[in-house]
Amino acid sequence: MNISISSNGTNSYWLVEATLLLSISAFGGLGNMLVIFVICKTKKLQNVTHYLIVNLAIADMVVAYSSLDKAVWKIWTNLNGGEMNTFAKVFCKTSAYCMFLSFIASTSFLIALSIERYYSILKPFENRLDRRKLKILIFGVWFLSFIFGIPQIFTTTAPSKFHYQCFVPQISGAFNLCYFISLTLVLYVIPLVTMTNIYIRIGIYVLNNKIPGDPTKDTELLHQKRNHRVATTCFVITALYMMSALPMAINFIIIAFSGNADDDSTFAEKGGLILYSNLSQAIYVLSCAYNPVVYNCLSSDFRKAFVGLFCGCRRRRNNQDSAEYPITGTKRSTFIRA
């Protein structure tokens, strides 16, 4: 595919791409806004686990905004004949910065979520996150995400020989190699190994420590089932995210060993790199759209809260009063209060 885009051959390509980006942005933004709204308005969902999920939803909204930025950039540059004026450059850099900021924040909150689940299930009586520690954690993650995303502003631009493409060119060989390899290790490889180890330990513990269905232990049994259900939800969220982020991690490695986008490398080689970069970003952006669906599918309590809020179910208010201490024999599937 000719990435340089002639005025005749690729009008439909950029238009379809921009339309898809706008659709993902709208669906992801609205879906994650609903996730945040439901959790904030439902008392029994206001716990450490769900506060971390709220921040994951915020990170997904940042991705949705990045998708919107990129769509606006594509529309602007194509309607203006590929001219990279100040407006287009700002949208190009903002899109890359927001996507990278979300990458850091999402990975960090997923690690925090897995650790929180580990202590909740395996070591429930040890010191866990209280509100003060949680606030410090959330502030620290977002602060570091904003800081570590700054280099993307300076490395992201549109090379002169590749019109209509917002790319990440090389500043210097040493910088490229160290920066992007470090990103791959810190933001993907190490978190993947860490979270895999945590969820394997949780899985082994769950399999080896089942409580028999003794009627005298109904409350404890229900508590355990809720714990396991939340752990399953967190695991699915993490697995889907790491799969969607894998192409981005591979893209970092490719960029680390690639030459400058304006050097003498063949057009086909750079065209392939840019095409893969766009594809990896598109796969990553999709995660912001399907995460709200995952929350809704895996949590019956979330579904009930959603229906209660938007369908005017008055029973929700009465159910909240008894959610913290479930009544024996009542069938109710909820997230555990952390």
What mean pLDDT is reported for the chain? 76
CA distance 273 to 277: 6
Which SS3 state, helix, strand or coil, does residue 333 take? coil
CA distance 53 to 161: 42
Residue 327, domain member (yes or no): no
Residue 173, domain member (yes or no): yes
Residue 303, domain member (yes or no): yes
Side-chain-facing half-sphere of 182: CA atoms under 13 Å: 7
Residue 278 tokens, joined: 């766009």
Task: Give tens-digit pLDDT for 225-264.
Answer: 666 777 788 888 888 899 999 998 998 888 787 755 555 5
Residue 24 domain boundaries? 11-321
Contacts of 284 (CB under 8 A, 6+ apart): 63, 99, 103, 244, 245, 247, 248
109: exposed, middle or buried (C-beta count within 10 Å: 0-12, 13-18, 19+)? buried
The answer to pTM > 0.85 is no
Residue 102, domain member (yes or no): yes
Token pair 């919107």 in the structure block, residue: 68
Q: What total of structural domains would you count in the chain?
A: 1
Partners of residue 167 on adjacent β-strands:
157
Task: Give tens-digit pLDDT for 253-300.
Answer: 887 877 555 555 544 456 677 778 778 888 888 888 888 888 877 777
DSSP strands (E only) in 149-251: none
Q: What are phi and psi of 66, to 5 degrees?
A: -60, -40
pLDDT at 50: 87
Task: Give tens-digit pLDDT for 49-87.
Answer: 889 999 999 999 999 888 888 888 778 777 776 666 677
- 177 or 35: whose pLDDT is higher? 35
Residue 93, domain member (yes or no): yes
Residue 329, domain member (yes or no): no
**Among residues 133, 134, 105, which one has the least CA distance to residue 32?**
105
CA distance 230 to 233: 5
Contacts of 154 (CB under 8 A, 6+ apart): 171
Rg (CA), the chain: 23
- 132 or 268: whose pLDDT is higher? 132
Q: What CATH number did the domain enclosing 242 receive?
A: 1.20.1070.10
